[in-house]
């Protein structure tokens, strides 16, 4: 992709790194170093006495083009007692770019070190809770961040390889060192080689990417609010969300970017133009392509109100894993971009504990036979599902039809008559919530199609799509499709500052503490709102990409173009008596960038439809849904 410079010396250095003797993982001595009671491991080890150390792992890459292979820093905390007995422990690993620039968790914790550079403060509760139970916790600085060498490539081959290299080190396949340059070889002879990766957002995305390489030793991953394809993070179907990979790289490199990474960042800018094209750059960051390689089990967690890492990411990743037959579990909340520790804390810690015990230690606790999915139906009210999407979910096609008032149509089961159209003008300053605000009033900026009141609950679970046939008046056109549930409800307010939670003044403790590394965290509570409508699925497209996501083309004004694009993944029940509404507009302000020449768009109703993943399908009866 042109971002990682290479020099002739590198080949020799990489070869030297690959042939450096690696101490094999030692054989387990004596009984296992953990105690199980009531199906879970017990906190029998002294957290205050735990070993804290840093190892630098050779990645074999030279992202900063200094002629030396980059080393990434791995801060480890592990129980001392098994080490003294020659016993090995499994590893919980979080590879992140955020350990110094931005912090982790609701309290934005960063790593801290003593005067000698030894790790003291480990963000989040994983070390406090799991180290006393016989696990090591390894927090990895991705290449180009904090104490690691190299450069960030925003979810690309360097990011993934730098985390995979640590899995290899933990499994005895790659050397580590006790210094960032030179130093003595450091082998993870204390590790069983069984690794579980966890993390939210960027961190969880890297866990997905490493799993997609099929690396041996990675037994499970727990991606939280994570990316499955970085194209879907930065783009819709051919339309850009306006974020810049270079800005993200410079943020996590700190202080506006490392000088040595200027060339790498320039390469990112060249390879990822803001035009919505699906290029080789995005293919390198599309972990779905490696889903068939995944050997690890997957426990995915996502907020259905997440406007940062949009739910299409978990939906497409889940579907790809299902096709590959990967053991998996899913939690879907009503929150936005929020960690489950902050909206379902007690249940989360208990479930994660049993999950790691089973997949990393082989504890027969039955967690793998529990319901596959848990969905938050109302604030703090969860429903378990044996499988997800539920058995019986099928694609149902609904059609937009004209209504008595132009711009206010019907969403029904019968196609519209040929030649029936509606029109609107792309008003780039409006967004989906503005379009939904007055469903009984026509608007020049959108068209709306209403089922009328439903006679039965209608549940959608999965990823839908919309097909629109549109005639533009200008050479460029962007589209948005929105599903809205009209009717009274009490929901988590994912639009509030905490995206569905508020932080309280009290603390609860989850594990053991020691000076500089507390197990106590601020409590949270749900932020709710009484609403009369919910925007629960959206999709975006550039009409110029109607033929291919790889390359957009100028449009011919006056010519009709059909285009199919995706709606966001959802699990939502539209209750009986509520209305299901499809809204079609242009630029969804605040989410998509406007086209260079927005204009008037005419929608051919006969050539348009929406396909929805329905659990309880529409019932026969007239123009709308009975």
- Kindly list the catalytic residues: 201, 306, 337
* Cα–Cα dist 475/600, whole Å: 11
In sequence order, what are the beta bridge partners of 502? 525
Please spell the DSSP secondary structure of 172-198, one letter per residue: TSS-EESSSSS--EE--TTEEEEEEEE
Q: What residues contact residue 350 under an 8 Å CB cut-off, 6+ apart? A: none
12's enclosing H/E stretch is helix 8-19
Q: 483-495 b/e with 16+ CB inside 10 Å = b?
A: bbbbbebebbbbb
C-alpha dihedral sign at 165, 166, 167, 173 = positive
Beta-carbon count within 10 A of 588 CB: 27
Question: Is there a contact between 612 and 398 (Cβ–Cβ < 8 Å)?
Answer: yes
Helical packing angle, 157-170 and 202-211, nearest 10°: 70
Among candidates 284, 344, 281, 273, which has minimal Cα distance to 501? 344
* Residue 589 DSSP label: T
* Cα–Cα dist 169/15, whole Å: 16
First to last CA, the chain: 53
Among candidates 569, 494, 483, which has minimal Cα distance to 311? 569
* Side-chain half-sphere CA neighbours of 561 within 13 A: 29
Q: What residues contact residue 53 under an 8 Å CB cut-off, 6+ apart? A: 75, 76, 118, 119
Q: Tokens at residue 31, please? A: 């009984």
Q: Which ranges of 171-261 does DSSP label H, i.e. alpha helix? A: 202-211, 230-234, 245-253
* Residue 47 DSSP label: S
Q: What residues contact residue 64 under an 8 Å CB cut-off, 6+ apart? A: 70, 144, 149, 150, 151, 258, 260, 261, 264
Among candidates 491, 490, 471, which has minimal Cα distance to 479? 471
* Cα–Cα dist 20/29, whole Å: 26
In sequence order, what are the beta bridge partners of 108? none
Among candidates 81, 132, 75, 63, which has minimal Cα distance to 104? 75
Please give the sequence-ordered ranges of beta strands (E in DSSP) within 217-294, or none if there are none: 218-224
* Cα–Cα dist 536/155, whole Å: 28
* Cα–Cα dist 428/234, whole Å: 19
Residue with the two structure tokens 């997905």: 208
Rounded to a whole number of angstroms, the CA Rg of the chain reads: 26
Question: Is there a contact between 466 and 610 (Cβ–Cβ < 8 Å)?
Answer: yes
For 558, list phi and psi in degrees, rounded to 5: 90, -10
* Cα–Cα dist 109/121, whole Å: 9
């Amino acid at each position: 992709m042109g971002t990682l410079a290479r020099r002739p010396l590198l080949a020799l250095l990489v070869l030297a790194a690959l042939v450096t003797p690696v101490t094999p993982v030692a054989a387990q001595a004596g009984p296992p170093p953990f105690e199980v009671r009531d199906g879970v491991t017990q906190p029998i080890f002294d957290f205050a006495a735990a070993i804290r150390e840093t190892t630098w792992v050779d990645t074999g890459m030279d992202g900063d083009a200094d002629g030396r292979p980059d080393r990434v820093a791995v801060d480890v905390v592990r129980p001392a007692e098994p080490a003294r007995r020659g016993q090995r422990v499994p590893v919980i690993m979080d590879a992140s770019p955020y350990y110094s620039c931005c912090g982790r968790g609701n309290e934005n914790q960063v790593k801290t070190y003593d005067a000698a550079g030894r790790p003291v403060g480990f963000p989040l509760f994983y070390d406090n809770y799991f180290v006393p139970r016989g696990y090591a916790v390894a927090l990895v600085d991705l290449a180009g961040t904090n104490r690691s060498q190299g450069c960030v490539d925003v979810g690309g081959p360097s990011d993934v390889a730098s985390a995979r290299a640590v899995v290899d080190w933990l499994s005895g396949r790659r050397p580590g060192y006790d210094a960032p340059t030179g130093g003595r070889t450091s082998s993870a002879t204390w590790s069983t080689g069984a690794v579980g990766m966890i993390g939210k957002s960027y961190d969880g995305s890297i866990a997905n990417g490493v799993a997609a390489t099929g690396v041996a030793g990675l037994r499970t991953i727990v991606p939280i609010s994570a990316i499955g394809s970085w194209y879907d993070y930065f783009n819709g179907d051919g339309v850009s969300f306006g974020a810049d990979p270079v800005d993200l790289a410079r943020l996590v490199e700190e202080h506006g970017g490392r000088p040595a990474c200027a060339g790498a960042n320039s390469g990112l800018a060249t390879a990822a133009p803001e035009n919505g094209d699906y290029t080789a750059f995005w293919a390198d960051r599309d972990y779905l392509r490696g889903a068939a390689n995944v050997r690890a089990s997957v426990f995915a967690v996502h907020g259905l109100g997440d406007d940062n890492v949009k739910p299409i990411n978990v939906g497409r990743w889940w579907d790809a894993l299902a096709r590959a037959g990967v053991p998996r579990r899913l939690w879907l909340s009503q929150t936005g971009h929020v960690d489950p520790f902050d909206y379902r804390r007690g249940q989360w810690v208990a479930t994660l504990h049993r999950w790691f015990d089973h997949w990393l230690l082989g504890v027969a606790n039955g967690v793998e036979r529990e319901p596959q999915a848990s969905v938050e139906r109302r604030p703090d009210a969860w429903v378990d599902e044996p499988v997800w999407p539920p058995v019986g979910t099928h694609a149902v096609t609904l059609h937009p039809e004209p209504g008595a008032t132009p711009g206010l149509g019907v969403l029904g089961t019968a196609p519209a008559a040929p030649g029936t159209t509606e029109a609107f003008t792309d008003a780039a300053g409006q967004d989906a919530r503005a379009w939904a605000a007055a469903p009984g009033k026509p608007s020049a900026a959108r068209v709306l199609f209403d089922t009328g009141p439903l006679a039965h609950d209608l549940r959608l679970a999965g990823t839908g799509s919309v097909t629109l046939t549109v005639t533009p008046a200008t050479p460029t056109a962007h589209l948005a499709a929105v599903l809205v549930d009209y009717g009274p409800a009490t929901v988590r307010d994912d639009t509030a500052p905490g995206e569905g939670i508020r932080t309280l003044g009290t603390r609860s403790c989850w594990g053991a503490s020691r000076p500089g590394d507390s197990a106590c965290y601020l409590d949270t509570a749900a932020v709710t709102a009484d609403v009369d409508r919910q925007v629960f699925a959206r999709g975006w497209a550039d009409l110029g990409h109607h033929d291919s996501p790889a390359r957009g083309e100028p449009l011919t004004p006056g010519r009709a173009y059909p285009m199919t694009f995706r709606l966001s993944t959802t699990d939502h029940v539209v209750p009986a008596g509520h209305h299901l509404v499809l809204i079609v507009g242009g630029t969804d302000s605040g989410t998509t960038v406007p086209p260079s020449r927005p204009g008037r768009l005419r929608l051919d109703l006969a050539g348009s439809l929406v396909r929805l993943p329905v659990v309880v399908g529409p019932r026969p009866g007239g123009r709308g849904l009975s």
